Amino acid sequence: MVRDWRKYLDEADHRRRDKLVKIEKIKKQKRSVRGRTVDDWIVDSQLHEGDETESEFSLRLGRLVESGQRRGRVIEVHKRNIFVAEENAEGKPETELLWLCSVAKRHFQRAHRERNFVVVGDRILFEPDAEVAFDSEGQPKETDLPRGVIQHAFSRHSRIARRDPLNPEWEHVMLANIDLLVIVASVFHPEVRWGLIDRFLVQAELEGLPAAIVLNKVDLLENPKLATEEFLRRYRKRLEIYRGIGYEVFEICALRPRKTQAEVKRLRETFKGKLIGFAGHSGVGKSSLLNLMKPEFDQIVDDNPDIFYKGRHTTTYNSLLQLGIGAYAIDTPGVRSFAVEGFDSITLTQCFPEFRGINCHYRECTHDHEPKCGIKDAVAEGRISQERYRSFIGVLKGISFREGEGDASEAEVIADLKARGQVRDEKLRQMQSGEADDADEAELPADTMDTTDTEDSGK
């Protein structure tokens, strides 16, 4: 009988493979055990993964607090220096109880690896340095900023992120744990860009964050030179669209708040008890608006006529601000535009509330060219507005449309894509030749970001 040596080889092969799989499995277990003991950065990860019950977690948290750790909220990050406001019994940050913290050494490796390790709005546990002396109320005695070390962070319940235009997989989380995204635009100076508002709304929907729209400088609507009949018609239509979908829209004059007193009051009530993230171009009046909310520091309102471009020259930091009206705000100079692109149509459809629940023939319908498209039918029947439909297609294809000019022609689309590619190539070249700042530290190139969103600013 001829011995089937190939079979034998096969068996040996199998045995070897089985052994390898086993070794891998043991290695993996070891890694995860090791990982668990070292990587305790996210303090409530076990709770969220179901390995710990609510009461087990609060017991453990109680022990950490008893051992001297304090709860805080990150209010500013300057490289390794992290400014933390201590949280009061209700879990609200007290921005006058400020600490200067660093991250505990054992988390350094992870902190280096992860770009978004600590961001403004993060809730953390920190340990005061040994030399900090306390008064009878448990507050630091020193007049200088007391120092501490961050030991743990809590998982984020919401986040606002943008993608690096150079590395689309590279995400930059700008804010964490906000309760409401307030999109601020001005009717004129600079003129409202509805497409940009739609992009911000998409981002909010993606994070499951409530969003509100504030239209500032409504005093300028009384100027017939600016506010033509055609403009007013489109303006009113847009407001009707957003309100119809269910978004809160506020029309205010931050410069002369008495002109729009009721709206400002309504805004204050909406803000109360929340951590607000502001989004919008510079020059639209975010600082003026914040000043109406009794901030702990007055926000500087820039009266430079070239204000629309000021964001490109100044480097400011995201910072969390306590508002006298019983709210908090994070003003983010960096949030001029999000890189909302690269979505699949199913995800993006979910980000347009008025599109939800409408069926198409194809599950992965892009609502663009496919037959039997429920969305296109809804547009034709007026149940979905042309305006929002155009924004949808724009975000889906990563194209910009010029407001009021109908669809962009194919040539325009190609020119747009080309221009964006050139900006990216140029930035890449600069980075490689060392002309640009360290990408990690520098603000993302505003120009690169903005090219994706200049749909109606190129006049």
For Zn ion, the binding residues (CB under 5 A) are 360, 365, 367, 373, 375
User: Nearer to Zn ion by C-beta: 173 or 360?
Assistant: 360
69 binds ligand GDP (CB under 6 A): no
Contact pick of 84, 253, 264, 384 for ligand GDP (by CB under 6 A): 253
Q: Find the residue with minimal CB distance to ligand GDP.
A: 287
- Distance, in Å, from the CA atom of 243 to the CA atom of 412, rounded to the nearest integer, reads 31
Q: State the binding partner of 123 from Zn ion, ligand GDP, none, CB within 5 to 8 A by kind.
A: none
* Residue 72 interacts with, from ligand GDP, Zn ion, none (CB under 5-8 Å by kind): none
Stretch of 81-89, 100-108, 162-170, 214-222 lying at the interface with ligand GDP (CB under 6 A)? 214-222
Pair 286, 192: CB distance under 8 Å? no
Q: For residues 92 and 149, is the Cβ–Cβ distance under 8 A?
A: no
- If contact means CB under 5 to 8 A according to the sort of partner, which of Zn ion, ligand GDP, none does residue 365 touch? Zn ion
Helix (H) or strand (E) holding 63: helix 54-66
**Using the rule CB under 6 A, is 166 a contact of ligand GDP?**
no
# binding residues, ligand GDP (CB under 6 A): 18
- Sole window of 63-71, 173-181, 237-245, 284-292 interacting with ligand GDP (rule: CB under 6 A): 284-292
Q: In terms of CB distance, is 78 or 369 closer to Zn ion? A: 369
Among 64, 307, 436, 439, binds ligand GDP (CB under 6 A): 307
Sign of the alpha-carbon torsion through 227, 232, 236, 238: negative
**What interhelical angle do 386-397 and 194-206 show, nearest 10?**
70
What is each CA distance from 127 to 76, 132, 137, 318, in whole angstroms?
A: 18, 10, 17, 24
DSSP characters over 403-455: TTS-SPPHHHHHHHHHHHHHHHHHHHHHHHTT-SPPTTTSPPPHHHHHHTT-T
For position 217 contacting ligand GDP by CB under 6 A, the verdict is yes
Q: For residue 131, which amino acid is it?
A: E
* Residue 306 · residue 315 · CB < 8 Å: no
- Does 277 sit near ligand GDP (CB under 6 A)? no
Least distance in Å: CB of 380 to Zn ion? 12
Give all strands of the β-sheet with 327-331 in edge-to-edge order. 248-251, 211-216, 180-186, 275-279, 327-331, 319-323
* Per-residue binding letters, 286-305, with ligand GDP (x by CB under 6 A): xxx------------xxx--
Binding-site ranges for ligand GDP (CB under 6 A): 216-217, 219-220, 253-255, 282-288, 301-303, 307
